[in-house]
Every structure is written in structure tokens, then in C-alpha cells.
């Protein structure tokens, strides 16, 4: 993945981009009745929200908190502050989690588990103790790590999320929303694909204690490959479930978030219901391939007369089933284009609508080539032509 594509993905998965990419017609398609306090269905491939209810309401995230905990740890591994084979000490604070009544990896102060083992303990077994050991290993203290979590949430523009702990325990001021949880989960998938397979592990044994992944959909739907469950008395039963399928437009990934369901079975069945509706009611349509120009434009004062313009990466959109052949693409750009232009520089927008004019998506229009400044004579000649024009 080049840097331009990476920036594009990061921008599209921000809170503002999710709102901008929500198709206006999404509400015309009525999703099934979902027995959850809040929910959201995201098409990760097109960055479109297909269905939602109370998705911006602040709620207790329970162990869905560990999605952000994992993301920060993955960043630390990427930045070589940790490595998977490194061992970490188990602090008295982590060991004390045994008294809290929550999920555990069952580690104690005599053990030195590897980072790779702790990640499985936190993700598969949902161990609160593993989350604390990892946080201390990355930041020196839980408090420092929580500050890192909140800084990341702010960097993504998550306005309905605030963390007070790393495990998801009930605590005043600890909250998130279904939309924010979806954004965190999507960032794990796109930013750290090398670690994402951990979320598909159905069972993990550490210290001769075998525990099942609580995500029931891993055993029910072969296309589901993650992600995370959560439960507290206040939060109810929560689940983020992600599934990927091969489609005529390429691989398509859907991600559902359900918060506040009534039981383990309910969170699985309601999440499955959302995913099934997303596959059945919506089609993914691939509009552009990566690097393919959708337009060319005149460049002034550059060493090239024209520049290719397009989307930063391959572009897929989701439309109600059967409407893929009813899309219209409109290119809007800022003229005149003056050199120098850098590769990937935004110069306008690509707007996708139905033939009736209903908005489907808007993505940045960027340059697919760099255009340096022309020499003095070329710049002078273009200056005269622009003045005449």
C-alpha cells in the first residue's frame, strides 16, 4: 500500500468520512428489526454506513474497549517498541484482576508471558489481566496507556468516546458509541491486517487453561472472521462482528456493531441478522481501479501540459440491490491547476449519484502524477495566457 492510499483509507475511516459516505438512500431500505439499544452496519470496503440506530449515543462499551487497547499495542509493535516474542512481567495490579469477577487469561506474578500470548489472552479470552500487562508494557502504567487511547480517539475525531481504563470495566466517564466502535474496529482491519487474524481464533489455551472465543458467529458463519464481544451488567451483551465475502466487485467486508442486547445468543443472532441483510439488500459496485484516471486536466506553469486525476485508491460503493447500473459520476475540480502539483494532491471531488441525483458517495479527486514547475520561460508564457484567459 503506498502512502497516498494509506492517507485515503485513514481519511475515509474518520468519523466525518463515515458520515459523508452514508448513502442518502440507506434509510429508504429498511433494515430488519434489531433487538439492541444501539447498532450500526458498516460496509468497510465502501466506507458506507448501511444501517444504524442511536449510533452516536454514548454507551458503556464493556470489553469492546479492548479494540482500542489492541490498536495501541499493534502501533507499538509496528514502531518496534514491543515485539511479539518479548516477555512482560505480570504486575500485582494485573494479578489483582482475579478479584474483579471479569474475564481473565489467568496469569500471575510468577509468570512472564510473551506479547504474542498476551494478545491472544486479551483478544480471544478477553482477559482483563492481559490488557493491563500489555498496557504497562507499552506505556509504563495503565494511566499513561489510557491517555494514549484517548489521544488516538481524538485524532480520529471520535466525539462520543472517552476511556478511563483499558479493559472496559464500568467506570464513570468511560463510554463509546456504536459509530466510534465501528471506526476503531475498521482501523484495526485496515491499519494492522497482519494482526487481524488473531480475532478469528476460536479457542486459546494458556497455562493449561483452555477458553473459547465468545464470538459465537465464528462457528456459525464461515465468512465471519472476527472481532470482539463485551458484557457488563450496565452495558448488556455487545458484539462487533466482521465478515468478508468474494463478490463480482471483489472482496467485500461488512462490520456490524450491536450494543445492549439481552443475552449471548441475542448479540450473535442480531449481529448475524444485520450482516445477512447487508449482503442480501446491498450490492458492492467497483467504480475505479487504483491508479486509473477518471479525467485529465490542463496544468499551468508546469513542465507538463496535463495531469491525470482520479481517486487515491480503488473505489467501491454500496447501492441497493439492482441499482448498480444506475450510477452517475461527476468530477468537480478547482481550476486553474497551477504547478507545482504533488502526487496525491487533492484538487476536487468525485461525486457518485444515482441517475435521479440521489447522493451515494463523495471521495477526494487527487492528482495521479506529480507536476514540477516549468522553467522561467514556460512559467512566463503561461502567466500571460492565464491573464488573457
Strands 315-320 and 209-212 turn out to be unpaired
Q: Which H/E stretch holds residue 63?
A: none
Q: What DSSP state is assigned to residue 256? A: E
When pLDDT is cut at 50, 70 and 90, the band that residue 389 belongs to is low
Would you name the residues annotated as active-site residues? Answer: 63, 66, 126
Q: Is 270 helix (H, G, I), strand (E, B) or coil?
A: helix
Looking at residue 362, its pLDDT comes to 87
Looking at residue 226, its pLDDT comes to 95
154-201 confidence digits (pLDDT tens): 999 999 999 999 999 999 999 999 999 999 999 999 999 999 999 999
> DSSP readout, 287-335?
EE-TT--SEEEEEESBSSSEEEEE-SS-EEEEEETT-GGGEEEEEEE-S
Pairwise CA distance, residues 37 & 55, whole Å? 9
Averaged pLDDT score across all residues of the chain: 89
Beta-carbon count within 10 A of 217 CB: 25
> What's the whole-number mean pLDDT along residues 32-58?
96
Place of cell 471520535: 158
More confident residue, 114 or 379: 114
Pairwise CA distance, residues 46 & 210, whole Å? 38
315-345 confidence digits (pLDDT tens): 889 999 888 888 988 899 888 888 788 999 9
Pairwise CA distance, residues 316 & 314, whole Å? 7
Query: What are the phi and psi torsion angles at 168 (to 5°)?
Result: 100, 15
More confident residue, 363 or 256: 256
Give the least confident one: 5-14, 68-77, 258-267, 294-303: 5-14
Q: Would the pLDDT of 241 be above 90?
A: yes
Pairwise CA distance, residues 152 & 73, whole Å? 12
47-60 confidence digits (pLDDT tens): 999 999 999 999 99
Looking at residue 312, its pLDDT comes to 86
pTM of the model: 0.86
Looking at residue 376, its pLDDT comes to 65
Domains belonging to the chain, first-starting first, are 31-282 (3.40.710.10), 289-388 (2.60.410.10)
CA quadruple 274, 278, 279, 280: dihedral sign: positive
- How many percent of the chain have pLDDT more than 70? 88
CA quadruple 76, 82, 87, 92: dihedral sign: negative
Q: Which H/E stretch holds residue 3?
A: helix 3-12
Looking at residue 18, its pLDDT comes to 53
Highest average pLDDT, of 62-76, 87-101, 369-383, comes from 62-76
> DSSP readout, 164-230?
S-SS----TT-BB-HHHHHHHHHHHHHH-TTTGGGGG--EEEETTEEEE-S-THHHH-TTEEEEEEE
Amino acid at each position: 500500500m503506498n502512502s497516498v492510499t494509506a492517507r485515503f483509507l485513514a481519511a475515509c475511516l474518520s468519523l466525518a468520512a463515515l458520515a459523508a459516505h452514508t448513502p442518502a438512500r440507506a434509510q429508504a431500505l429498511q433494515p430488519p428489526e434489531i433487538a439492541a439499544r444501539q447498532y450500526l452496519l458498516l460496509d468497510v470496503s465502501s466506507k458506507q454506513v448501511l444501517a444504524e440506530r442511536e449510533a452516536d449515543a454514548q454507551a458503556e462499551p464493556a470489553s469492546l474497549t479492548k479494540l482500542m487497547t489492541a490498536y495501541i499495542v499493534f502501533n507499538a509493535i509496528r514502531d518496534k517498541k514491543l515485539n511479539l516474542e518479548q516477555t512482560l512481567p505480570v504486575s500485582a495490579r494485573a494479578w489483582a484482576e482475579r478479584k474483579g469477577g471479569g474475564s481473565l487469561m489467568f496469569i500471575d506474578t510468577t509468570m512472564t508471558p510473551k506479547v504474542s500470548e498476551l494478545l491472544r489472552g486479551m483478544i480471544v479470552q478477553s482477559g482483563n489481566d492481559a490488557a493491563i500487562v500489555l498496557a504497562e508494557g507499552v506505556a509504563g502504567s495503565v494511566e499513561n496507556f489510557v491517555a494514549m487511547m484517548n489521544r488516538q480517539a481524538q485524532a480520529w475525531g471520535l466525539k462520543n468516546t472517552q476511556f478511563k481504563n483499558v479493559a472496559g470495566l464500568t467506570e464513570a466517564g468511560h463510554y463509546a458509541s456504536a459509530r466510534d466502535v465501528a471506526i476503531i474496529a475498521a482501523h484495526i482491519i485496515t491499519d494492522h491486517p497482519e494482526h487481524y487474524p488473531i480475532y478469528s481464533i476460536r479457542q486459546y489455551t494458556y497455562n493449561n487453561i483452555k477458553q473459547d472465543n465468545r464470538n459465537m458467529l465464528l462457528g456459525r458463519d464461515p465468512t465471519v472472521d472476527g472481532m470482539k464481544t463485551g458484557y457488563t451488567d450496565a452495558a448488556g451483551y455487545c458484539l462487533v462482528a466482521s465478515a468478508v465475502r468474494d463478490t463480482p466487485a471483489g472482496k467485500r467486508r461488512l462490520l456490524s456493531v450491536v450494543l445492549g442486547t439481552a443475552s449471548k445468543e441475542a448479540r450473535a443472532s442480531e449481529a448475524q441478522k444485520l450482516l445477512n441483510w447487508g449482503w442480501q439488500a446491498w450490492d458492492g459496485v467497483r467504480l475505479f481501479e487504483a491508479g486509473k484516471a477518471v479525467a485529465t486536466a490542463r496544468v499551468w506553469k508546469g513542465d507538463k501540459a496535463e495531469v491525470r486525476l482520479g481517486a487515491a485508491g480503488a473505489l467501491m460503493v454500496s447501492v441497493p440491490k439492482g441499482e448498480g447500473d444506475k450510477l452517475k459520476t461527476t468530477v468537480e475540480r478547482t481550476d486553474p491547476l497551477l504547478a507545482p502539483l504533488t502526487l496525491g494532491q487533492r484538487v476536487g471531488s468525485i461525486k457518485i449519484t444515482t441517475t435521479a441525483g440521489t447522493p451515494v458517495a463523495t471521495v477526494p479527486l487527487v492528482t495521479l502524477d506529480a507536476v514540477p514547475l516549468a522553467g522561467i520561460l514556460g512559467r512566463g508564457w503561461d502567466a500571460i495566457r492565464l491573464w488573457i484567459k
